[in-house]
Structure 1
Amino acid sequence: MIMLYIKNLLVYILMFPIFGTLLLLLIPAREEKLMKIVALNFACFSFIGSLLLWGFFQKSTGAFQYVVKLFWLPSLNLNFTLGIDGISLFFLLLTTLLIPLCLLTSWNSVGSNLKEFLIAFLILDFFLIGTFCVLDLLLFYIFFESVLIPMFLIIGIWGSRERKILAAYYFFLYTLLGSVVMLLSILYIYYQVGTTDYEVLLTFSFSELEQKFLWFTFFLAFASKVPMLPVHLWLPEAHVEAPTAGSVILAGVLLKLGTYGFIRFSLPLFPKASFFFTPLVYTIAAVGIIYTSFTAIRQTDFKRIIAYTSIAHMNLVILGIFSFNSLGIEGAILQSLSHGFVASALFLVIGVVYDRYRTRIVQYYGGLASVMPLYITIFLFFTMANISFPGTSSFVGEFLILIGSFKVNTTITFLGATGVIIGGAYSLWLFNRIAFGNLKIQYTGKFLDLSPREFVLFLPLIIGTLVIGVYPSIFLNSLHMSVNYLIELLYF
């Protein structure tokens, strides 16, 4: 009986946010505390379920596990299939961890439409879990694009400034238009193969011309999510205008949709095209790393700085993915997970001072080390993680990526490493301006260090960053077989 529950655990993880949403609809709007508790509990249930999945995960195989197949449109050979491997496992864990943190960080800051806000995050949780777990190309597209709807509402309704509507449309249109051509390609694949079942598609061989066409349409969809140049302009706008919780989930998970798409679909389904377009991808990624790193230096908005650093880090992940070796790909996955911890924490760092002083302009802050020591200590820790300090998660991920890409192209690897150096410069400069210097009391007024709730928010992110940095084998052991299977699909 227990094994039956474990086998269907993926279904329960997917449905917990829906159950929470239905329960919220029945609770009167005046019961704000009850609604918060219900939403948080159901989000936590999904995270606990994800930890159980990891605990029972078989590390000795690269095959999909916890597979559940439901007949959706059997006459059209379309089925609702769920399953995870070592690659999707950690994206699932990251998603289910960050959603409860988003709800906690908004505990006291959402003043209007609280029920709708909580429902939006639970629905977003459902779509994100589905994106990482579904094993059907058409259903992946549905979940992949449905993520835009609650995120559009979160930015547009609960955003912090007057440009929030424009930022929401930037986010929606850039990412949607990039994905429309992918839908046409999925329809073409269905016409050719007769199904969109992922495991069946892995056994089908497209011609080289078909692969190039299909790969490029998928590239447009995934590149806009990463984002890569020149379709990156929506990200700084969306981050600046989104509420703190929106920025956390945007940086922590939504940017991973593109990298996950490349790993899951572009590489194994179109291997010849992936090799063919690698010079293009490497060039765009290298330019993106250098350009966004320099752009971050000249920003004055706290959030905009971290947004540009996110673009640089995610473009470095692209170098690892297209190294086509296990070191680079495992490093890319580990760095994606690390970025989910570190970037999310940095946006929480911003949210702490914004909730107190209602500004994100860097020049209004200074000298906080003397009045907010716990806050500055945590800020320093994640600044070190952001510049890949040894002992933190980013060091392991970036080290593996650079080793993997060095085997393919030393010049591009050098440019990617240069971006890491520039990142260290602007990260330390930002920290120095916030932590030291004269206190600017006329701007910030009364000083309050972290509350217990805020400290609890940072705690799991600190633990995750340290565990990956000190003992990455805990994560790599679950990745090896799945990545090796992906390499086999690329070369054989």
Structure 2
Amino acid sequence: MSLVLLILIPLLGAVLVWLAERWRCGLARGLSLVVLGLEALLLWQVPHEAPAGGLWWLQFQTEWLPVLGISWHFALDGLSALLLWLTLFIGAVSVLASWRDIDQRVGFFYCNLLLSVAGIIGVFLALDLFLFFVFWELMLIPMVLLIAIWGHENRHYAATKFFIFTQASSLLMLVAILGLVFVHYGQTGVMSFDYGDLLRLQLAPLPAFWLMLGFFIAFAVKLPMVALHTWLPDAHTEAPTAGSVLLAAILLKTGAYGLLRFTLPLFPDASAEFAPLAMGLGALGVLYGAKLAFAQHDMKRLVAYTSVSHMGFVLLGIYALNDLALQGAVMQMLAHGLSTAALFIIVGMVYARWHTRDLRELGGLWSLLPRLSGFTLLFALASLGLPGLANFVAEFLILAGAFQRDWPITLVALFGLVGAALYALLLVQRSLWGAAAPQAKTHDCSAREWGILASLALLLLVFGLHPQPVLDMVQRPVATILAERVMPNTGGTDQVVQRESREQLP
């Protein structure tokens, strides 16, 4: 029942926050933090380990539409728990970051923010594929509203583009889900959308490939992967600060989570055959995102393109298909969520003071805003993978694991580290040094702003110096993802890697 409450609390809280605006705008902000705090307390109370020999820390299942084989099936393991903690933390950061920025329809703004958080939590918990699709849609619609209502000048164009990309890819995933269900019905005579039932399907190579591709494209759009990423810079640039933070730190991770939780386990052989192409696309994304980030003058657009580069590392690590790279991919999801959220918040702070994000019109911030400039330098260094911070650990694990699988592709991705240094130093040099920007009389970080950035910096430092707790949380899920996988080796023959039986899954 705790898993159901994790979804119900933000859903009910969203309605309450919307109604609270009638009495007082500030009440909506405070109630949003209270709702997220209750979520954190509830998540802290759930078991933090699985029963002996099991994968799931906690499960809940009851019938919904039994005729169609649809149930309310939620489960929590180390991977989903880590992402839930990230979601709640970033949700609270988004509320605090928008505390002064949103002054119109405040209750409705925080209502949509909490609805999006509820949808994301449902995505990370749902094990019925129909239910997963419902929450997948639920998290997107409030984000479209956040962009369209509270965004910048071209917000309607960006929201429409985001909606079209996400809905088209979601349709592909729905078709693939229905394909799996009908195959299951043909083999067993029973309709079922349940994850455990669909895992046991025996699929012919060609249907497996096309069904896998439907899932892959849907998740790759959200990741985002090169060629499917063009919605991202517009959505980020036009979204309000809280929308950009939530989008970069959490929504992009749902794409990576979908690949890990559904695409690899449901289609092991097809995924293994597709892996070299996926790794190549990941390496291309690392380079392409870095190149485009280096070419930007808009600070927000620059940070947006860094997400394409960083999430390219995630795609590379996922399809390296070994423990080291998969753990690195999860660590990269966490590190990117923290560092990029911080950079978007900094961009919002700069825009609030100068009403511009153009690097050609900024400069000399270090002499004007030393505290904000210090945080900017720190998070820029985190973005380029400075040793001692979580981003370095993540990229090292990904590259080490990917090198074992395909060293030529990994060498290509290595050049992305050079690109990261270029765009990070460009951001620092143009914004912090040089002639002072106009409107020089302004205030440095407030206590609220300092607390937000300091908490993000502290977490990056802690996970960079002591990443083992994160790796321990995801060790079991990673081992399960790699269970009974047929992986092509470099000698041209197939090597069966069997770590544990899928029979341990529901």
| TM-score greater than 0.5 by the shorter chain | yes
SS for the counterpart of 1:147 is: helix
Counterpart contact for 1:268–1:489, Cα < 8 Å: no
Counterpart contact for 2:291–2:419, Cα < 8 Å: yes
Q: Flag the 1:61–1:238 CA change in 2: closer, same or farther, 3 A.
A: farther
Counterpart contact for 1:59–1:478, Cα < 8 Å: no
The counterpart of 2:111, out of the listed 108, 113, 119, is 119
User: Corresponding residue for 2:240?
Assistant: 243
Letter in 2 for 1:468: F
1:344-389 Cα offsets, whole Å, 9 max, x none, are 0110111111112211111111111112111111111111111111
Counterpart contact for 1:61–1:481, Cα < 8 Å: no
Find out whether 1:293 has 2:304 as its counterpart.
no
Find out whether 1:23 has 2:16 as its counterpart.
yes
> Structure 2: how far apart are the matches of 1:95 and 1:173?
25
Find out whether 1:206 has 2:203 as its counterpart.
yes
Find out whether 1:102 has 2:99 as its counterpart.
no
Note the 1:214-363 alignment, pairs <5 A: 214-363=211-360
Letter in 1 for 2:245: V
Note the 1:154-173 alignment, pairs <5 A: 154-160=146-152, 162-173=153-164
1:219-255 Cα offsets, whole Å, 9 max, x none, are 1101111111211111000010000000000100111
User: Corresponding residue for 1:49?
Assistant: 42
TM-score by length of 2: 0.92
Q: Flag the 1:416–1:172 CA change in 2: closer, same or farther, 3 A.
A: same
SS for the counterpart of 2:363 is: coil
Letter in 2 for 1:431: V
User: Corresponding residue for 1:487?
Assistant: 482
Find out whether 1:141 has 2:157 as its counterpart.
no
> Structure 1: how far apart are the matches of 2:63 and 2:449?
44
> Structure 2: how far apart are the matches of 1:186 and 1:354?
43
SS for the counterpart of 2:443 is: coil
Find out whether 1:68 has 2:67 as its counterpart.
no
Counterpart contact for 2:285–2:312, Cα < 8 Å: yes
Task: Using the aligned pairs only, state the percent identity.
Answer: 37
The counterpart of 1:445, out of the listed 429, 436, 440, is 440
SS for the counterpart of 1:488 is: coil
> Structure 2: how far apart are the matches of 1:302 and 1:388?
19
Counterpart contact for 1:13–1:45, Cα < 8 Å: no
SS for the counterpart of 1:446 is: coil
1:16-43 Cα offsets, whole Å, 9 max, x none, are 1122123234435241111211122102
Counterpart contact for 2:115–2:138, Cα < 8 Å: no
Letter in 2 for 1:400: L
Matched residue pairs, number? Answer: 481
User: Corresponding residue for 2:494?
Assistant: none
Counterpart contact for 1:323–1:329, Cα < 8 Å: yes
SS for the counterpart of 1:57 is: coil
> Structure 2: how far apart are the matches of 1:360 and 1:125?
28
Q: Flag the 1:28–1:384 CA change in 2: closer, same or farther, 3 A.
A: closer
Letter in 1 for 2:462: V
Structure 2 unpaired stretches of 5+: 185-190, 486-496, 499-506
Note the 1:31-46 alignment, pairs <5 A: 31-46=24-39
The counterpart of 1:422, out of the listed 419, 422, 433, is 419
Find out whether 1:459 has 2:454 as its counterpart.
yes
User: Corresponding residue for 2:368?
Assistant: 371
1:405-456 Cα offsets, whole Å, 9 max, x none, are 0011111111111111111111012111111111123xx3322110011112
1:36-88 Cα offsets, whole Å, 9 max, x none, are 111221022213333444x7334975511210112211222211111111221
User: Corresponding residue for 1:184?
Assistant: 175
Q: Flag the 1:227–1:59 CA change in 2: closer, same or farther, 3 A.
A: farther
